[in-house]
Amino acid sequence: MAASRRRIIAALGAVSAAGLLALTGRNAMARYYEGPVSDHFDGTRFFDPKGAQPRSVIDLIRWRLTGTRASWPERSPSPYADRPPAQVNDKSWRISFVGHASLLLQTAGLNLLLDPVWSERVSPVSFAGPQRVNDPGIAFEALPLINAVLVSHCHYDHLDLPTLSRLAAAHRPRVITPLGNDAIMRGHDPAIAAEAYDWGDRVPLPGGASVSLVPVQHWSARGLTDRNKALWAGFVIDTPAGRIFHVGDSGYGEGHHFRRAKEQQGPFRLAILPIGAYEPRWFMRDQHMNPSEAVQAFRDCGAELALAHHHGTFPLTDEAIDAPPLALAQAIASAGIAAEQFRVLQPGQVWQIDSI
């Protein structure tokens, strides 16, 4: 019995440093949003009518006790480092991969950051939790003046409060995020100019652009007691060069959200799709796509081009560091898709997409 208890305690410690906050009660009374009941909000928690419930804590412990995590290198530096221009003033897109789920989009005078994370760890504490194996592809000091930031949901590898505080101090950008995440940001730093929106809302941006929030299959939490108290979303970024469908995190499910995005928001020139953090499938299937599902999502949403992200920076799940791009290469070859049509970048690499 004592040995079993020790194994469970060890598993809890290995799950995530987020559990430390939950056990101390910091998240127990969290209420990030108050508003009317809707088809995806029950008055306390958000839900996806087409999705699945997040896995239980028991499942989390089971994964950590039985999983076989591949070994990642302590460091896997990228050979690239980007120094972006101050602006891209024409209707082309300049997309720089910062790492994991963080990207910089420049077009028509707009500098837009997606899920920016410059921290060394994606964790509520600085001394534990998943640690980056490569530096951000853009040094923070080399960033151009950022006009706006999109934050898709509140998981630590997407909503990084220290980075948002640094951006608020240096750039004062608008931060556009789904409902409830603004409370998390302002609770950390009132200087973060967070604006919260619901699925279906459209927000104007500089340069003749706009962003709309759309449903994806995911969930939210900062600890073990605040599940789904903040909303999650994908973004449709409408620019003079065309539309981008950006998915920060999503399971594939039945593909409903990807087909719906095409029907209601398309056509898309580019889909930015996650391909990592997908093993073991029994645990991750409902929240993270694997590369073959990302290829199917690409087809479902009808985009002309795709860019992979959510891989190669933080060891979050059981697959090896190089497994996602290798599996994606196999999946696009099997689907008859050219490699240049669904690209994988390393941190610091840039994809320049010409205007229409």
pLDDT single digits (tens) 28-47: 567 899 999 999 999 999 99
If we measure between CA atoms, which residue out of 349, 330, 262, 323 comes closest to residue 298?
A: 262
pLDDT of 28 reads 55
> How far, CA to CA in Å, does 203 sit from each of 14, 212, 265, 296, 335?
39, 6, 14, 28, 35
Task: Tell me the C-alpha distance between 326 and 271, whole Å.
Answer: 19
pLDDT level of residue 52 (50, 70, 90 thresholds): confident
The reported pLDDT for the residue numbered 254 is 95
Q: Are 118 and 166 in contact (CB under 8 A)?
A: yes
Overall average pLDDT of the 19-27 stretch = 45
First to last CA, the chain: 66
Mean pLDDT computed over every residue of the chain: 91
pLDDT at 23 over 70: no
Cα angle for residues 289, 218, 300 (degrees, 5° grid): 50
Q: Is the pLDDT score of 356 beyond 80?
A: no
CA distance 320 to 89: 39
Closest CA to 313 of 160, 80, 136, 141: 136
Query: What's the rounded mean pLDDT across residues 172-185?
Result: 98
Decide if pLDDT at 288 tops 70. yes
Decide: 309 and 343 in contact? Cβ < 8 Å. Answer: no
pLDDT at 18: 40
Going along 70-128, which residue ranges are E strands?
A: 93-99, 102-107, 110-114
C-alpha to C-alpha distance for 205 and 148, rounded to whole angstroms: 8
Q: Which of 16-30, 160-174, 262-276 has the lowest mean pLDDT?
A: 16-30
The CA distance from 136 to 120, in Å, is 9
The string of pLDDT tens digits covering residues 231-250 is 999 999 999 999 999 999 99
Half-sphere exposure of 160 (CA within 13 A, CB side): 23
Mean of pLDDT values over 148-152 = 98
Report in angstroms the alpha-carbon separations of 345 from 63, 142, 214.
30, 19, 25
- H or E element that contains 178: strand 174-178
Please write the tens of the pLDDT for every residue from 192-203: 999 999 999 999
pLDDT at 21: 42
CATH of 93-353, one of 3.40.50.620, 3.60.15.10, 3.30.365.10, 3.40.50.2000: 3.60.15.10
- Out of 49-53, 60-64, 227-231, the most confident range is 227-231
- pLDDT number for residue 16: 43
Q: Residue 137 is encoded by which pair of tokens?
A: 């592809």
Residue 268 has pLDDT above 80, yes or no: yes
Q: What is the spatial distance between Cα 160 and Cα 76, in angstroms, rounded to a whole number?
A: 22
Residue 8 has pLDDT above 60, yes or no: no
The per-residue pLDDT for range 299-352, each reduced to its tens digit, is 999 999 999 999 999 999 999 999 999 999 999 999 999 999 999 999 999 999
pLDDT in tens, 83-103: 999 999 999 999 999 999 999
Helix (H, G, I), strand (E, B) or coil at 198: coil
pLDDT in tens, 125-143: 888 899 999 999 999 999 9
Nearest to 49 by CA among 251, 187, 270, 216: 216
143 vs 104: CA distance, rounded Å:
9
Domain ranges of the chain: 93-353
